[in-house]
Amino acid sequence: MSQVAKWPRARHACISFDREETDVTVTYWTSGIEKLRDTRERFGTGAALQYGLERLVNLVVFVEWLHIIVLSRDSVQPLDPEATARFSSRLATLADLEAMQTDPRLDVGPSKFEFFRRGDSCLLSYVDGELAGYAWAHTLGRPELIPGLTISVPVQFLYNYAAVTLPEFRGLGLQAYRHLALLDHGPWQGKRGLLGFVRHTNFASRRGQTKSGYRTLGSIWLIGGRRHYAALFSSSLRRSGIRRLE
């Protein structure tokens, strides 16, 4: 039950505030203003306006704009032979995931174990034999992008998500190495490329994915409530066989 701060009764008015709701509202606006400033500094006024407009609209109705992105084999960044000689990879076991829980930087929580239970694979990447990060691959062709939105993935693509690189190993080219390691792994060698998604206002991620060789295949627009919403798929996605699944 929420705590309510009640003011003494007055002849003309009685005012009360729900402290929990007030705290949530203050936090929402404070974090939003900070993110708005950061977005403007890093990506310009146009990006900041888009972020601010999305946040304002979402006070009234749930609206989301997602981009489906694809990385073809021939678009993967070239690897440095000297650097990759230090790299290795393998699929994680349940015991690996359990051991990884001890390092909060690896972000292995209940959701990751649920991914594993459903049949998804986690590719571990190593530098000189030391765990440096991982990337997940969805294997059933029907990933849930956000709660309530499950899509179909064409058989020629592998859905890739939730990649992590520990800070001390960034800048070595591990992301490109993992992309190729996924596509060259036994059952996925026949795949033409990797598929993923990024939110329109996640400008940092969009920039990084573009540098990695991803291109936008199409977009999905969501509108409605947080639990129940309509999803509009661009014609390019429909032509590619990507649609919403129940």
CA distance 44 to 47: 6
Q: Are residues 47 and 90 in the same domain?
A: no
Same domain, 203 and 106: yes
Is residue 211 domain-shared with residue 230, that is, in the same domain? yes
Tens-digit pLDDT string for the chain (246 aa): 434 333 334 333 333 334 454 454 545 556 778 888 999 999 999 999 999 999 999 999 999 999 999 999 999 998 989 889 999 999 999 999 999 999 999 999 999 999 999 999 999 999 999 999 999 999 999 999 999 999 999 999 999 999 999 999 999 999 999 999 999 999 999 999 999 999 999 999 999 999 999 999 999 999 999 889 999 999 999 999 999 998
240: CB partners within 8 A, 6+ apart: 154, 217, 218
Cβ atoms of 180 and 158 within 8 Å: the answer is no
DSSP for the chain reads ---EEEPPP-SS---EEEHHHHHHHHHHHHHHHHHHHHHHHHH-HHHHHHHHHHHHHTTTSEEEEEEEEEEEGGGSPPP-HHHHTTEEEEEPPHHHHHHHTT-GGG---HHHHHHHHTT-EEEEEEETTEEEEEEEEE-SS--EEETTEEE---TTEEEEEEEEE-GGGTTSSHHHHHHHHHHHSGGGTT--EEEEEEETT-HHHHHHHHHTT-EEEEEEEEEE-SSSEEEEE-HHHHHTT--EE-
Residue 18 sits in the same domain as residue 113: no
Domain containing residue 112: CATH number: 3.40.630.30
Let me know whether 224 and 112 are in one domain. yes
Q: Which of 12, 30, 57 is the C-terminal boundary of a domain?
A: 57
Domain that holds residue 93: 63-245
Domain boundary among 38, 57, 76: 57
CB 77 within 8 A of CB 212: yes
How far is Cα 196 from Cα 8, in angstroms, rounded to an integer?
Answer: 56
Residues 127, 165, single domain; the answer is yes
Total domains in the fold of the chain? 2
Is the CB of residue 131 less than 8 Å from the CB of residue 95? no
- Shared domain for 49 and 67, answered yes or no, is no
Q: Where a domain ends, among 57, 79, 94?
A: 57
Q: At what angle do helices 45-57 and 19-43 cross, to 10 degrees?
A: 160
Looking at the fold, whether 24 and 116 belong to one and the same domain comes out as no
Both 211 and 174 in one domain: the answer is yes
**Does 82 share its domain with 40?**
no
- 197 with 217, same domain? yes
**Same domain flag for 73 and 156:** yes
